[in-house]
Amino acid sequence: MREPETSGSIAAMSMNTERILEQLYSLKDNSESFAKAEDADPIWQKDIEALEAAISMISTLEDEGVHDAEALKDLIFDYHLAAKQQKEMHRKYEVPVRAVRKDGAFLCPECNHRVGLKHTHCHWCGKKLGGW
- Does one domain contain both 73 and 115? no
Domain region containing 128: 96-132
The amino acid at 28: K
pLDDT-derived band at 97 (thresholds 50, 70, 90) equals very high
* Residue 54 resides in a domain: yes
**Do 78 and 51 reside in the same domain of the chain?**
yes
Q: What is the pTM of this model?
A: 0.59
Residues 11 and 52 occupy one common structural domain? yes
99 CB burial (10 A radius; 0-12, 13-18, 19+): buried
Residues 9 and 52 in one domain: yes
Average pLDDT, the chain: 90
User: Could you give the percent of the chain with pLDDT greater than 70?
Assistant: 89
Looking at the domain assignment, is residue 90 inside a domain?
no
Q: Are residues 60 and 123 in the same domain?
A: no
pLDDT at 56: 97
**Residue 15 confidence class, pLDDT cut points 50, 70, 90:** confident
Lowest-confidence range among 1-5, 104-108, 116-120?
A: 1-5
Count of CA atoms in the C-beta half-sphere (13 A) of 132 = 12
**Does residue 87 fall inside a structural domain?**
no
Calculate helix-pair angle for 17-35, 43-63, nearest 10 degrees.
Answer: 160
Q: In terms of domains, do 78 and 18 share one?
A: yes
Q: Residue 3 above 50 pLDDT?
A: no
Number of structural domains found in the chain: 2
